[in-house]
Amino acid sequence: DSLGGRLDILVNCAGIQILHKAEEFPFEDYRKVMDVNLDAVFELTQLAGRTMLPQGSGKIINFASMTSFIAGLNVVPYTASKGGVMQLTKAFSNEWAGKGIQVNAVAPGYIMTKMNWEFFHDKQASGGIFRRIAMGRWGEPEDIAAAVLFLASKAAGYMTGVTMPVDGGFLAME
């Protein structure tokens, strides 16, 4: 009620990553990753839809990842969850696009955030990745904010079901 009964934009941007070798990944850690990265996206999107559908409009922006497109090492549940986010985005979009609700996702590349801080400073691990970033730099949080702002704006009025990479050209170097 504090929103006046309206909900115009939902951004599902929470995410966690836990590292273990695939054969040693504890199921408890798997569930933690899936709960935050995928299950919460489903639940919050569904709840938002219950308000947006009657009003005939709304924008939902999910956070996917480069691992929505390619698999990472030691992050099996993260990869699965972010692939799932991309598919949830498409599935909700298919059902709601004709009802005025746009559901899209942003797929950040290697962004200078707390989650990536140690990885960035591991020169051996980050060296190969850096060579694959066509723009020659890691992304900044502002790069992702600009993509979210675009998807939330009228400029993206004819986009739905899209997972938009914001990766400095990382996928183009594949």
Residue 19 within a domain: yes
Does residue 1 belong to any structural domain of this protein?
Answer: no
| Number of domains the chain contains | 1
Pairing of strands 9-12, 58-63: parallel
Mean pLDDT, the chain, whole residue set: 90
The answer on pLDDT for 139 being more than 80 is yes
CB 68: neighbour CB atoms within 10 A?
A: 21
Residue type, 4: G
The residue-averaged pLDDT of 143-160 equals 97
Tell me which residue range forms the domain holding 120: 9-173
Considering the domain boundaries, does residue 109 fall inside one? yes
Rounded-to-integer distance, Cα 56 and Cα 101, Å: 7
**CATH number for position 117:** 3.40.50.720
pLDDT digits (tens, 9 = 90+) for 64-91: 999 899 988 888 999 999 999 999 999 9
Per 3-state DSSP, the chain is made up of helix, strand and coil in percentages (nearest 5) of: 55, 15, 30
pLDDT at 174: 66
**Which of 37-46, 116-125, 126-135 is predicted least confidently?**
116-125
Strand partners, 137: none
- Strand segments, DSSP code E, in 50-162 are 58-63, 101-108
pTM, two decimal places: 0.90
Q: Is residue 2 part of a domain?
A: no
In a domain, 58, yes or no: yes
Query: How would you list the strands of the sheet with 9-12, edge to edge?
Result: 9-12, 58-63, 101-108, 163-166
pLDDT value of position 3: 58
Residue 89 in contact with residue 104, Cβ under 8 Å? yes
Q: What is the mean pLDDT of residues 107-136?
A: 70
Grade residue 96 by pLDDT with cuts at 50, 70 and 90.
very high
pLDDT level of residue 168 (50, 70, 90 thresholds) = confident
Query: Which residues are known to be catalytic?
Result: 78
Give the side-chain half-sphere CA count within 13 A for 64. 29
For residue 3, being part of any structural domain is answered with no
In a domain, 81, yes or no: yes
In a domain, 60, yes or no: yes
